Amino acid sequence: MSFTTLPRIGMGTFRLRGDDARDAVKSALSLGYRHIDTAQMYNNEAEVGDGITSSGIPRREIFLTTKIWHDRLRADDLIHSLHDSLARLKTDHVNLALIHWPSPGDEVPMEEYLGALRDAQREGLTEHIGLSNFTCAQMERAKAILGDAPILTNQVEVHPFLANRQVVAHAQRLGMTVTGYMPLAVGKVMDDPTLQRIALEHNATPAQIAIAWSVARGVVPIPSSTRPSHQKANLEALNLTLSEEDIRAIDALDRGERLANPGFAPDWD
Q: Residue 5 and residue 2: Cα distance in Å, rounded?
A: 9
So what's the pLDDT on residue 175? 96
What mean pLDDT, rounded, does the chain reach?
97
So what's the pLDDT on residue 225? 95
pLDDT digits (tens, 9 = 90+) for 46-96: 999 999 999 999 999 999 999 999 999 999 999 999 999 999 999 999 999
Q: So which residues are the catalytic ones?
A: 42
Helix, strand, coil shares of the chain, percent, nearest 5, are 50, 15, 35
Q: Please give the model's pTM, rounded to 2 decimal places.
A: 0.97
Residue 100 labelled as part of a binding site: yes
* CB 60 within 8 Å of CB 52: no
Q: Residue 222 and residue 13: Cα distance in Å, rounded?
A: 9
Q: Which of 32, 97, 94 is nearest to 64 (CA)?
A: 94
Query: pLDDT grade, residue 103 (50/70/90)?
Result: very high
Q: Which of 138, 81, 71, 82 is nearest to 111 (CA)?
A: 138
Radius of gyration of the chain from Cα atoms?
18
Q: Which of 33, 6, 2 is nearest to 172 (CA)?
A: 6
Cα dihedral 140, 3, 49, 125 sign = negative
β strands within the chain, DSSP E: 11-12, 35-37, 63-68, 94-99, 126-132, 151-157, 177-181, 219-221
Burial track 138-148 (b if 16+ CB lie within 10 A, e otherwise) = bbebbbebbee
- Residue-by-residue DSSP string for 28-94: HHHHT--EEE--GGGT-HHHHHHHHHHH---GGG-EEEEEE-GGG-SHHHHHHHHHHHHHHHTSS-E
pLDDT digits (tens, 9 = 90+) for 135-176: 999 999 999 999 999 999 999 999 999 999 999 999 999 999
Q: Which of 196, 194, 160 is nearest to 180 (CA)?
A: 160
Domain 11-181 matching CATH 3.40.350.10: the answer reads no
